Structure 1
């Protein structure tokens, strides 16, 4: 892996393939390795793929107490600029999609095309009673996971997140041990993210200045409130498109890598 300086941290990244640059931005609790199924399922055949570890994740540096989304946005900007002339294609998942949307609202010139899968930008739909009702169960689970991690029970907090938010009951025990270890390792960084008061907010008016084509995707097995968030993003973005991954949930690049890679490739290449 290579590394690049982004402000106060060194970011590690893995690069493979040739062609237009495609930067992959992972979500919480994991690192760049979560993208490997989709990269191997043909993304590397069409693009110069750069998958990096966000600050506090994987082999990238962690600054204690530094976990704001704004810092992650600045890191992504530094990475894109270090790779060569912008704009770049960017595909992002979950909290990584929130980071990408936040940067697009501030620095739209950095982006050629963007793929966002289910950014948890709950702040956009707090005026939507149906979305708020749908989020109640998730909100309670998040608070429980935060309490456990704050008390040093990282494994217990990770299990709550996996089983009550991300993948469903029983999923923790069926996960390979290295993957469980990855979740536990990143528990404190996730807590930093959650303690950022602006983690779920977005400058929607700023995002409207982003003229890059944007693919907004969701999975049929995901909670409905993600669709409400995407509705708000679609209304703000001048060149938004929508896609639904049938049978998939919050991590289609892991569970449905062939479908994900084919969809992303077609969109980014304009085919």
Structure 2
């Protein structure tokens, strides 16, 4: 994907990996992070925010440009939070507003727990926190079934199970466009790392609710306007209830920043300001 603004790419050596990141714009720092989503799908949103912010995006370790020293070492939210902390210190523009999406929202919450001094505001957009749900055992069993399906060699079946567990429904032609066809080596490596070394650790993570309640930084729980009833809608509302925070609605669904980047950027600015 070609960016419409100047992008400064870089790599940073951290314990156990080399991280790929991109920096755009100037002004107060906004860091955008996903897991397993890498930096490219966030580029349209980052371009828009770069009009008045420095915007940091990254590939999480094990995905695309961020290569771990040991490809069979597991990733955890705490480890990814440490990676993001290294990057925020490296670009020397914090404290940051951190937007985390999905698994990246779990990373952002872990960052708030362990590196609070680097954060001004955290927007945790639809964190998949299965352990907060009454049916968490069923949810974790569904993840194990997804992982087993991947290990059986049925990679498309694993994607279908993962999306079904999340309550994400799409037309078959859209599914085939996104997940069918030949995959690049980077996509194959990223997919393998997610199912074997990331999904379980993210889904099993339990936030430290007392620490999050006591934080001096601002915490926003974001939910997509069209996500009602989906897994991450449920987990986000469960977290908001535990923290006595009213969730804030964002345009679109779980991937609203891709569906309508301009509307998402406008809403993000409203929330931050």
* TM above 0.5: yes
1:78 is the counterpart of 2:86: yes
**Equivalence for 2:4:** none
User: Deviation string for 1:168-227 (max 9, x for gaps)?
Assistant: 242421327699657644222212113338733111111122222222111233235534
TM-score (norm 2): 0.82
Matches within 5 A, 1:13-92: 13-28=21-36, 30-40=37-47, 42-62=48-68, 63=70, 64-84=72-92, 86-92=94-100
Change (3 A) 1:236 1:88: farther
Could you say if the C-alpha distance between residues 38 and 198 of structure 1 is closer, same or farther in structure 2, counting changes exceeding 3 Å? closer
| C-alpha contact 2:32 2:57 (8 A) present in aligned 1 | yes
Q: Which residue is equivalent to 1:129?
A: none
Does the aligned pair in 2 maintain the 1:205–1:236 contact within 8 Å?
A: no
Counterpart mapping for 1:165-180 below 5 A:
165=166, 167-169=168-170, 170=172, 171-175=174-178
Over the aligned positions, Cα root-mean-square deviation in angstroms equals 2.9
1:1-271 alignment, distance < 5 Å: 1-28=9-36, 30-40=37-47, 42-62=48-68, 63=70, 64-84=72-92, 86-126=94-134, 132=135, 142-162=143-163, 165=166, 167-169=168-170, 170=172, 171-175=174-178, 184-191=188-195, 192-196=197-201, 199-222=204-227, 223-235=229-241, 240=245, 242-246=247-251, 248-268=252-272, 270=273
For 1:32 and 1:152, the matched residues in 2 are separated by 27
Contact 2:166–2:230, Cα closer than 8 Å, also in 1: no
TM-score when scaled to structure 1? Answer: 0.82
CA deviation profile, 1:1-41 (whole Å, cap 9, x unmatched): 2011221111000111111111110132x31111022123x
When residues 154 and 227 of structure 1 are mapped into structure 2, their CA distance, relative to the original with a 3 A threshold, is closer
Deviation at 1:57, TM superposition (A): 0.8
Can you give the 5+ residue segments of structure 2 that lack an aligned partner in the other structure? 1-8
Q: Does the 8 Å contact 2:42/2:258 carry over to 1?
A: yes
What SS does the aligned partner of 1:226 have? helix
User: Residues 178 and 260 from structure 1, CA distance in 2 versus in 1: closer, same or farther, beyond 3 angstroms?
Assistant: farther
